[in-house]
Amino acid sequence: MEFFNSALGKNISFVRPAYFIISGFIGIPNIKYYYVFLFFVYVVSVLGNTAVMAVIYLDHNLRAPKYIVVFNLALVDLFGSSALVPKLLDIFLFDHRSIPYNDCLTFLFFCYTCLSMQTLNLVALCYDRLIAIIFPLHYQLKVTHRFMFSLIASFWVLVITLVLTAVGFLTRLSFCKSVVINSYFCDHGQIYKLACNDRSPSFGLGMSLPVLLLWLPLMFILFSYLYIAYALSKVATVQERVKAFKTCTAHLSLVAIYFIPILITFTLSSKIHPNGRIINLSLTSVFPPMLNPIIYVLQTQEIKESVKKLFKIRKQHKIMAKKANIK
């Protein structure tokens, strides 16, 4: 972060606290039951996303370009859950609410990076469905392995650059008053609001990040599906429309699970109690990683067939091993 500080001059010093305090879920009755629930969600997320990655890696039939995105989504969900939930449980369940300054910024970086990559993965999957339905004859040319790898890599570079910039701007802030963060993790917006010097760069980036990494991806997805719906309305038979729509159900489910709680929280933020808002946002962070692998396994025919095949092969191996032991 020396670049951000040297840009202001060598003689400028910043008041950096030794630690921040995460206020989180203070005052919520029976909150320990919620922590047990979060632990259950985390375990399911780890198992589910690990299983999806293993299935895609082991089955050579799942080497279509879109499964590069599905694998990356599972990887991001796994990293995101592992970055957030264990630390969240450590902070609140074991009452370790103080978190060192550098650890807090690191915590922020990993949480924001993974949450942002979730939305961009949904954009990549939406593009895949858009080309498959609107330009089916050109799908093999437009959606290639190289293109998908390049798209995902560019998303990673974009997100890491933006989040690192946000963290860099935070290192230029002085904290001479409160160090209590009114959130369940090291939230960028809640941190820069505590600063007592000029925080306009952080404020500007704080306003830009949701637009770039949340609302623009959502607009792209919505307009893409409006275009898909218009294209399907021109299809001659109902059966063809239904068949094409079924290929989008898994992705639409992921979009609904991720964006609807966020839209409700931001739309009704003035009417929601602060504790309710914190719980809702925390569920938005941990629920999609748990549900994403379940949805893809249940709604994607190729993955279902692959899972059945892998279980069948494993069962056959057990039977053969049992016979060998009998002999």
Distance, in Å, from the CA atom of 300 to the CA atom of 306, rounded to the nearest integer, reads: 10
Q: For 142-200, write each residue's pLDDT tens digit.
A: 999 999 999 999 999 999 999 999 999 999 999 988 899 988 889 998 999 999 888 89
pLDDT of residue 153: 97
The highest-level CATH class for domain 2-326 is mainly alpha
Query: 73: closest CA among 14, 12, 140, 122?
Result: 122
Q: For 97-116, write each residue's pLDDT tens digit.
A: 899 999 999 999 999 999 99
Distance, in Å, from the CA atom of 92 to the CA atom of 87, rounded to the nearest integer, reads: 9
Domain boundaries in the chain? 2-326
Give the other-Cβ count within 10 Å of 30's Cβ: 6
Q: For 42-79, write each residue's pLDDT tens digit.
A: 999 999 999 889 888 888 778 889 899 999 999 999 99
- What is the pTM for the complete model shown? 0.86
User: Residues of 288-299 as b/e, b for ≥16 C-beta within 10 angstroms?
Assistant: bbbbbbebbbeb
Distance, in Å, from the CA atom of 98 to the CA atom of 107, rounded to the nearest integer, reads: 13
